[in-house]
Chain A
């Protein structure tokens, strides 16, 4: 017992700690620079309470009578834009997702093409997609549907590709060895393995799309956002509050629906 051996064990190596320090330091630096240079007029904050009080006073009481005449149809439109857009997006995402899964497609060029499509779809916000398609198809839900679809491709495609990459290669090998054509191998081996994930992604995206399709109307892409935009421009705040309430209810119902269906699938 004369020799005591000290086993030092450190949770992080020096390099790791340095990296963490650099990240924190970088953030602190960025924050201080941002705070100093951003063009914020703090006096506006002081004024905010009166403004908010004014806003609330104008929003109250809610103009419920406006719902049947002006909101209901637009709300249905929003739901259809979300659903149809999701279907469109999924339809486009399936081939891209398959192309992006590196255990299925081994051609690097196709792989990169898929990655490019997925990244550009996700980098552009749905509001911006909506702007672009309003320029192409004119204002209205057609532009909105296609925008929602294009925005969904990246999300669905990326998650689908990841799910495909996680499948067990054994059954694929077995069916290939049995001489099954590629499409049969896909249908009987990849698909059964990713189906639950696929439906989960579909529902998840639909839920997001309900939220997004409620606002793309602000740039003219149809749905309840257009009603909101009109009410805002005309300062009908009692209508704005009804619109916001209806969006809130729809979003909550959609989320409840999706969580319940997901529970049953998985």
Chain B
């Protein structure tokens, strides 16, 4: 390589102005937003002091009212189970009717709108409305979770159907099979496994959400949690939190196991 005259080359990289601009913009935005939200270092530090007090009041967690806690947790699980089953059962036909490769547009769009509506509102908002409609208690929570399940599984199920191979369907149609047989023998076998996958995931999600909808009065452990919080009953709050985490972790473990069974 010696003896070659050194040539001066320009930088081989395009100056990444967009990248640099993006970083500057992100930092400027963070400063602006922090100002807007009145988020400041002093408030943060003051909060840390509170946080220490808060933590010291939470420890040790107080499990003396374990019967109430257990009853609440049980209700939470019941809500999740019922809502999952009905939600999954409902999303099967709704997902089918929303698949654009099976049905004409005028059939699918109302279903797709419904699914989109179920998805766009946070479960807590839906829960508030149901509490007004059917009163406080687990019924409101169950209805909320059913809608949330339809929003999630319905969409994924419709997408899964839209991705299936159309060849078996054509064969069935060509042999003169009625629409219901086309669905049962042509469509469902192709998507059933994915559907089961979504469902076991949705059970997990429903359980997490059913611990929360109680905050607005829709049943489950959330109500007790919120009450403990409002009464500054922080050691009981800690006990509730720990049991929620344990419950959620258990359900995650179970959902993994169930997925293994159906792989």
The residues of A with any CB-CB pair to B shorter than 8 Å are: 16, 19-20, 23, 27, 30-31, 33-35, 37-41, 44-45, 47-48, 51-52, 55, 76-77, 80-81, 83-84, 87, 119-120, 122-125, 127-128, 131-132, 135-138, 140-142, 145, 211-212, 214-215, 218-219, 222, 228, 232, 244, 247-248, 251-252, 255
Contacts and interface: CB of A to CB of B under 8 A. Distances in A.
A206 to B, nearest CB: 13
A45 B139 contact: yes
B193 to A, nearest CB: 11
A136 B50 CA distance: 5
B211 A30 contact: no
A38 B78 contact: yes
B261 A19 contact: yes
B63 interface: no
25 contacts: A16-B261, A27-B85, A34-B78, A38-B75, A38-B82, A38-B138, A40-B138, A41-B137, A44-B135, A51-B134, A84-B39, A125-B208, A127-B222, A128-B225, A132-B54, A136-B51, A141-B39, A142-B38, A212-B122, A218-B124, A228-B125, A232-B128, A248-B121, A252-B120, A255-B120
Contact of B37 (A20, A27, A138, A141): A141
B174 interface: no
B198 to A, nearest CB: 15
Given A80-B37, A248-B121, A137 B44 contact: yes
B39 A145 contact: yes
Contact of A119 (B77, B142, B249, B258): B249
Given A123-B248, A124-B245, A211-B122, A55 B34 contact: no
Secondary structure call for the B interface: helix
B134 A48 contact: yes
Contacts of B26: 87
Q: 9 closest pairs, A vs B, by CB? A: A137-B47, A34-B78, A141-B37, A123-B248, A80-B33, A136-B51, A125-B212, A19-B261, A123-B245
B132 interface: yes
Nearest to A140: B38
A244 B117 CA distance: 12
B43 interface: yes
A212 B120 CA distance: 11
B227 to A, nearest CB: 11
Nearest to B120: A251
Contacts, number: 158
Interface string B5-35: 0000000000000000000001001100110
A30, A84, A127: which has the most chain B beta carbons within 10 Å? A127
B226 interface: yes
B1 interface: no
Nearest to A37: B78
Contacts of A222: 37
Interface residues of B, number: 60
Given A20-B262, A41-B135, A138-B47, A128 B212 contact: yes
A78 to B, nearest CB: 10
Given A51-B133, A127-B215, 13 more contacts: A20-B262, A33-B78, A38-B78, A38-B82, A77-B36, A131-B229, A135-B50, A135-B234, A137-B46, A211-B122, A212-B122, A218-B215, A251-B121
Nearest to A16: B261
A212 to B, nearest CB: 7
A41 B135 CA distance: 9
A215 B122 contact: yes
Given A34-B81, A44-B135, A247 B30 contact: no
Contact of A52 (B133, B142, B229, B245): B133
B85 A31 contact: yes
Contacts of A247: 121, 125
Contacts of B208: 123, 125
B241 interface: yes
